[in-house]
Amino acid sequence: MAGQLKEVRNRIKSVQSTQQITKAMKMVSAAKLRRAQDAITQMRPYAQKLQEMLSNIVSNTEGDMSIKLAEERTVEKVLLIVITSDRGLCGGYNANLIKLAKLTIAEKYADQHKKGNVTIWNIGKKGYESLLKAGYKADATFKDIFLNLNFENVQAAAQAAMKAFENKEFDAVEIVYSEFKNAATQRFTAEQFLPIPKVANTGSSKKKSDFIFEPAKEELIAELMPKILNTQLYKAVLDCNASEHGARMTAMDKASENANELLKTLKISYNRARQAAITTELTEIVSGAAALQG
Whole-angstrom distance, CA of residue 100 vs CA of residue 174: 12
Whole-angstrom distance, CA of residue 156 vs CA of residue 163: 11
Catalytic annotation present for 240: no
Nearest CA-CA partner of 252 in 35, 84, 92, 90: 90
Q: For residue 82, what are the β-bridge partners?
A: 122, 176
Taking a C-beta distance cutoff of 8 angstroms, is the pair 94, 115 a contact? no
User: What letter represents residue 83's amino acid?
Assistant: I
Whole-angstrom distance, CA of residue 85 vs CA of residue 116: 26
The active-site residue, picked from 47, 57, 90, 101, is 90
Taking a C-beta distance cutoff of 8 angstroms, is the pair 282, 17 a contact? no
Nearest CA-CA partner of 250 in 184, 171, 206: 184
Taking a C-beta distance cutoff of 8 angstroms, is the pair 97, 189 a contact? no
Q: What are phi and psi of 62, to 5 degrees?
A: -60, 125
Catalytic annotation, residues: 90
